[in-house]
Amino acid sequence: MKEPDEAHRYHVEGELLQLIGAASDQELEKWASDPNCYEAETCAKELAERLAKRAATEAGRQAARTAAQQRLCDRRQALQDNPFDPRTEVSADAIHMASRIVKHLWIIFVLLPFVIAFVIAMWSVMAGVIK
Protein backbone atom coordinates (compact mmCIF):
# COMPACT_ATOMS: atom_id res chain seq x y z
CA MET A 1 0.00 0.00 0.00
CA LYS A 2 1.20 3.50 -0.77
CA GLU A 3 2.10 5.98 1.90
CA PRO A 4 -0.42 8.78 2.45
CA ASP A 5 0.34 12.12 0.85
CA GLU A 6 -0.62 14.83 3.37
CA ALA A 7 -1.23 17.38 0.63
CA HIS A 8 -3.79 15.16 -1.13
CA ARG A 9 -5.69 13.68 1.80
CA TYR A 10 -9.48 13.96 1.56
CA HIS A 11 -12.73 13.06 3.30
CA VAL A 12 -15.55 11.14 1.70
CA GLU A 13 -17.82 13.88 0.37
CA GLY A 14 -21.26 14.61 1.82
CA GLU A 15 -22.84 13.15 4.92
CA LEU A 16 -20.31 10.50 5.93
CA LEU A 17 -22.55 7.74 7.28
CA GLN A 18 -25.27 8.17 4.68
CA LEU A 19 -22.80 8.31 1.81
CA ILE A 20 -20.83 5.31 3.00
CA GLY A 21 -24.05 3.36 3.57
CA ALA A 22 -25.32 4.21 0.08
CA ALA A 23 -22.01 3.76 -1.74
CA SER A 24 -21.43 0.83 -4.04
CA ASP A 25 -18.99 -1.93 -3.17
CA GLN A 26 -16.54 -0.67 -5.79
CA GLU A 27 -16.52 2.83 -4.28
CA LEU A 28 -16.06 1.45 -0.77
CA GLU A 29 -13.22 -0.76 -1.95
CA LYS A 30 -11.60 2.22 -3.70
CA TRP A 31 -11.89 4.43 -0.58
CA ALA A 32 -10.74 1.63 1.74
CA SER A 33 -7.61 0.98 -0.31
CA ASP A 34 -6.79 4.69 -0.82
CA PRO A 35 -4.19 5.83 1.75
CA ASN A 36 -5.21 9.48 1.24
CA CYS A 37 -8.79 8.92 2.43
CA TYR A 38 -9.41 9.80 6.08
CA GLU A 39 -12.35 7.33 6.27
CA ALA A 40 -10.46 4.35 4.82
CA GLU A 41 -10.90 2.31 8.00
CA THR A 42 -14.61 3.11 8.20
CA CYS A 43 -15.07 2.16 4.56
CA ALA A 44 -13.15 -1.09 5.05
CA LYS A 45 -15.30 -1.95 8.07
CA GLU A 46 -18.53 -1.19 6.17
CA LEU A 47 -17.37 -3.31 3.21
CA ALA A 48 -16.49 -6.22 5.51
CA GLU A 49 -19.91 -6.00 7.20
CA ARG A 50 -21.67 -6.02 3.83
CA LEU A 51 -19.73 -9.03 2.63
CA ALA A 52 -20.41 -10.90 5.88
CA LYS A 53 -24.12 -10.09 5.67
CA ARG A 54 -24.27 -11.30 2.06
CA ALA A 55 -22.47 -14.51 2.98
CA ALA A 56 -24.94 -15.15 5.83
CA THR A 57 -27.90 -14.41 3.57
CA GLU A 58 -26.55 -16.69 0.87
CA ALA A 59 -25.99 -19.46 3.41
CA GLY A 60 -29.61 -19.08 4.56
CA ARG A 61 -30.87 -19.20 0.99
CA GLN A 62 -28.79 -22.28 0.29
CA ALA A 63 -30.18 -24.00 3.40
CA ALA A 64 -33.76 -23.13 2.38
CA ARG A 65 -33.10 -24.38 -1.16
CA THR A 66 -31.69 -27.64 0.16
CA ALA A 67 -34.67 -28.12 2.49
CA ALA A 68 -37.11 -27.49 -0.38
CA GLN A 69 -35.29 -30.01 -2.57
CA GLN A 70 -35.40 -32.55 0.26
CA ARG A 71 -39.17 -32.04 0.68
CA LEU A 72 -39.62 -32.48 -3.07
CA CYS A 73 -37.62 -35.71 -3.02
CA ASP A 74 -39.66 -36.97 -0.04
CA ARG A 75 -42.90 -36.14 -1.88
CA ARG A 76 -41.69 -37.94 -5.01
CA GLN A 77 -40.76 -40.99 -2.99
CA ALA A 78 -44.16 -40.98 -1.26
CA LEU A 79 -45.91 -40.77 -4.64
CA GLN A 80 -43.86 -43.68 -5.93
CA ASP A 81 -44.77 -45.74 -2.88
CA ASN A 82 -48.48 -44.80 -3.04
CA PRO A 83 -49.32 -43.06 -6.33
CA PHE A 84 -52.91 -42.13 -5.33
CA ASP A 85 -53.71 -40.05 -2.27
CA PRO A 86 -57.50 -40.13 -1.78
CA ARG A 87 -57.43 -37.11 0.56
CA THR A 88 -56.04 -34.69 -2.01
CA GLU A 89 -56.71 -36.22 -5.42
CA VAL A 90 -59.76 -37.17 -7.46
CA SER A 91 -59.49 -40.25 -9.61
CA ALA A 92 -60.07 -40.11 -13.35
CA ASP A 93 -62.99 -42.54 -12.98
CA ALA A 94 -64.71 -40.23 -10.48
CA ILE A 95 -64.24 -37.24 -12.78
CA HIS A 96 -65.70 -39.20 -15.72
CA MET A 97 -68.69 -40.41 -13.71
CA ALA A 98 -69.38 -36.94 -12.31
CA SER A 99 -69.28 -35.36 -15.77
CA ARG A 100 -71.76 -37.93 -17.10
CA ILE A 101 -74.10 -37.42 -14.13
CA VAL A 102 -73.98 -33.63 -14.53
CA LYS A 103 -74.60 -33.96 -18.26
CA HIS A 104 -77.67 -36.16 -17.73
CA LEU A 105 -79.04 -33.92 -14.99
CA TRP A 106 -78.62 -30.92 -17.29
CA ILE A 107 -80.53 -32.73 -20.02
CA ILE A 108 -83.35 -33.68 -17.64
CA PHE A 109 -83.76 -30.39 -15.79
CA VAL A 110 -82.84 -27.80 -18.45
CA LEU A 111 -83.09 -29.13 -21.97
CA LEU A 112 -86.13 -31.40 -21.56
CA PRO A 113 -88.43 -28.63 -20.20
CA PHE A 114 -87.51 -26.41 -23.16
CA VAL A 115 -88.20 -29.25 -25.60
CA ILE A 116 -91.55 -30.00 -23.93
CA ALA A 117 -92.48 -26.31 -23.97
CA PHE A 118 -91.55 -26.12 -27.66
CA VAL A 119 -93.63 -29.20 -28.49
CA ILE A 120 -96.65 -27.85 -26.58
CA ALA A 121 -96.29 -24.48 -28.30
CA MET A 122 -96.11 -26.12 -31.72
CA TRP A 123 -99.04 -28.36 -30.89
CA SER A 124 -101.18 -25.39 -29.85
CA VAL A 125 -100.23 -23.54 -33.05
CA MET A 126 -101.04 -26.58 -35.16
CA ALA A 127 -104.31 -27.09 -33.29
CA GLY A 128 -105.22 -23.47 -34.03
CA VAL A 129 -104.43 -23.88 -37.73
CA ILE A 130 -106.37 -27.11 -38.09
CA LYS A 131 -109.62 -25.70 -36.60
Task: Give pLDDT tens digits for 92-125.
Answer: 899 999 999 999 999 999 999 999 999 999 999 9
Helix axes 40-81, 25-33, angle to 10 degrees: 140
Residue type, position 87, single letter = R
pTM of the model: 0.43
Q: Which element (helix H / strand E) includes 126? A: helix 112-130
